[in-house]
Amino acid sequence: MSEKHDRLKELRIDRADIESTGSGGGSTLAIVALVLVGAAAAAWWWLRDGGTTEVRVARAELVSPRALASSDAVLDASGYVTARRRATVSSKFTGKIVDVGIEEGMRVTEGQVLARLDDTIQTRSLALAEAQLQSARTALAETEVRLREAGLDAERLRKLVEGDVASQSLLDTAEANRDALKARLERQGDDVAVAEKTVSLRQQELDDTVIRAPFAGVVVTKNAQPGEMISPVSAGGGFTRTGIGTVVDMSSLEIEVDVNEAYIQRVSDGQAVEATLDAYPDWRISAYVITAVPTADRQKATVRVRVGFDQLDPRILPDMGVKVAFLSRDADQVAPAETAPDRSFVAVPEAAIVPAPGEGDSVFVVREGIAELRTVSVETRRSGRAWLTDGVESGETVVVDPPPSLTAGDPVRPTDS
C-alpha cells in the first residue's frame, strides 16, 4: 500500500507550479495590452484635441457708412425691437376650428393655410345657391321658348287680320301675351343674375372658412387648438378665441425708443445710431434714425423715435430690450437715410488685427475649424473696433487675440462666440 501511495503521489500534478508559470505569462500579456491601449488613446487624443489650438472668436458685423462721419454719442436712450408688420390672424365670422396647421417658430408664406373652420353650413348653403341658380336658368330657357312661340302666333294672327280672316281682338291678345312673356324673360334674367351673385357670396363664405397668412413671416404665438370656437370679436365667458396665431414679418423689424422732449433736438432723420441688445451686450449694431414721430406724450414728456437696422440678423427678435446711442455727425459728410451707400464696412474687434507677413494688416478667419490668414484693409479704428473695407465678409468668424504660435492652416477650436 505504501508503494502504491508513493507512485500515486508521483502522478499528481503540482498546481502551484502551473499557476506560478501561468500568472507570469498573463501579467506580461496584460502589461503589453495596457501599453498598446494607452498609446492608441494618446494618439487619438493628440489627433483629436492635442493638435487643436483654443482661440477666442468674434463675428464680423456690417456697419453703415453713416457712422464713418460720427464720433461720440450725443444722446443715449432705451427701447424695444418692434415689427412694423405684425398681425394676429383671426376669422371673419364665429366658427369651430377643425384644423390648425401652425406652430411657434414656423415660417409661413403669403396665402399659406394656417387653419380651417367647420364648413358644413357653408357647403350646404353653396349647394342650395347653385341649385337655385340652375332652377332660374331653366325657367329662363323655358320662357325664351314660349316667347318665340308667342311671337310666331302674333305674326300669323297679324297676317290673318290683314286678310280679314281673324278678328283684331285675337291679335291684340296674342301681342299682349308676347309682351308679357318678354317682360317675364327680363325678370327671370335678373333672377339668374341675382342667383349667380348668391352663389359667389356663398362661395366666398366657404373660402372664408380657410384662414390664410396675410403676409410672409414667422409664427410667434399659437393661440387656438382644434375643437375651440373662434370669433373676430371678443365673446363673453372666455371660451371663444379671437385669433389663431400671431405672424411677424421679420424683415420689418426696427427699434422704437422714447426720447425726452428736452433732448429731441439732438435727433435728426438719417442720423447714425449704435444699438446694443440687452441679450448680446458685446454686439454693437449699426443703425440709423428713420424719423421722430411728430407728436409728444404729455404724460411722459417724451417723443417716440423710430430707428432702422442697417442689416437684419436672425439674432434680432421682436420685443427685445435695446439701448441706443445717437452719434454726432457732420451733415455734409453723411448721406441721407434714403440714399444707398457707395461702400459698406465690416467691423471686427481691434484685437483681431495682426501684422501681415509683408506690409499691412491681416486677420485669422475660422472656416470649418481651420484658421485662414487674410490680408485686410483697415479704414479706421474706433472704440475698440477696426472698420475693414475688404478681406472679411459680414457674418464670418475671426480670431480675437490670436496666440503667437498660431499659423495659417492650424486647426482651432472656438472658446467664445
Query: Strand order in 229-230's β-sheet?
Result: 210-212, 113-117, 95-100, 229-230, 240-241
pLDDT category, 113, cuts 50, 70, 90?
very high
Beta-bridged to residue 5, according to DSSP, are: none
Convert 299-342 into a string of H (helix), E (strand) and C (coil): CCCEEEEEEEECCCCCCCCCCCEEEEEEECCCCCCCCCCCCCCC
Note the pLDDT of residue 162.
Answer: 83
Which phi and psi (to 5°) does residue 38 adopt?
Answer: -65, -40
Give the mean pLDDT of 41-69.
Answer: 66
pLDDT category, 158, cuts 50, 70, 90?
confident
Percent of the chain clearing pLDDT 90 (strictly above):
46
For the stretch 122-144, what's the b/e string if a residue is b when 16 or more beta carbons lie within 10 angstroms of its beta carbon? beebbeebbebbeebbebbeebe
C-alpha cell at 187: 325678370
Give 289-334 pLDDT, tens digit per residue.
999 999 999 999 999 999 999 889 999 999 999 999 998 865 334 4
pLDDT top residue among 23 and 200: 200
Give the mean pLDDT of 113-122.
Answer: 95
Note the pLDDT of residue 122.
Answer: 94
C-alpha cell at 136: 332660374
C-alpha cell at 148: 318665340
269: closest CA among 339, 341, 337, 333?
Answer: 337
C-alpha cell at 274: 449704435
Give the mean pLDDT of 120-129.
Answer: 95
Q: Does pLDDT of 24 surpass 70?
A: no
C-alpha cell at 168: 283684331
Mean pLDDT of all residues belonging to the chain: 83
Does residue 217 contact residue 109 with C-beta atoms inside 8 Å?
no
Q: What topology does CATH give the domain 71-84+250-327?
A: Elongation Factor Tu (Ef-tu); domain 3 (2.40.30)
The three-point CA angle 88-94-98 to 5° equals 80
Give the mean pLDDT of 204-218.
Answer: 95
Amino acid symbol at 108: V
Strand 272-277 with 240-241, pairing: unpaired
Q: What topology does CATH give the domain 53-60+343-416?
A: 2.40.420
- pTM, full prediction: 0.61
Q: Does pLDDT of 22 surpass 60?
A: no
Angstrom distance (rounded) from CA 58 to CA 70: 24
Convert the chain into a string of H (helix), E (strand) and C (coil): CHHHHHHHHHHCCCHHHHHHHHHHHHHHHHHHHHHHHHHHHHHHHHHHHHCCEEEEEEECEEECHHHHHCCCEEEEEEEEEEECCEEEECCCCCEEEEEECCCCCCEECCCCEEEEECCHHHHHHHHHHHHHHHHHHHHHHHHHHHHHHHHHHHHHHHHHHHCCCCCHHHHHHHHHHHHHHHHHHHHHHHHHHHHHHHHHHHHHHHHCCEEECCCCEEEEEECCCCCCEECCCCCCCCCEECCCEEEECHHHEEEEEEEEHHHHHHCCCCCEEEEEECCCCCCEEEEEEEEEEEEEECCCCEEEEEEEECCCCCCCCCCCEEEEEEECCCCCCCCCCCCCCCCCEEEEEHHHCEECCCCCEEEEEEECCEEEEEEEEEEEEECCEEEEEECCCCCCEEEECCCCCCCCCCEEEEEEC
Q: Does pLDDT of 273 surpass 50?
A: yes
Strand 385-390 with 370-382, pairing: antiparallel
Q: What topology does CATH give the domain 89-115+214-247?
A: OB fold (Dihydrolipoamide Acetyltransferase, E2P) (2.40.50)
Angstrom distance (rounded) from CA 247 to CA 91: 14
Beta-bridged to residue 76, according to DSSP, are: 325
Give 340-350 pLDDT, tens digit per residue.
445 568 888 88
Give 64-98 pLDDT, tens digit per residue.
666 555 556 788 899 999 999 999 999 998 999 99
Q: Does pLDDT of 160 surpass 60?
A: yes
Q: Does pLDDT of 141 surpass 70?
A: yes
The three-point CA angle 123-124-126 to 5° equals 65
Q: Does pLDDT of 13 surpass 60?
A: no
Note the pLDDT of residue 108.
Answer: 95
Residue with cell 353653396: 126
Q: Where are the domains of the chain?
A: 2-49, 53-60+343-416, 71-84+250-327, 89-115+214-247, 120-207
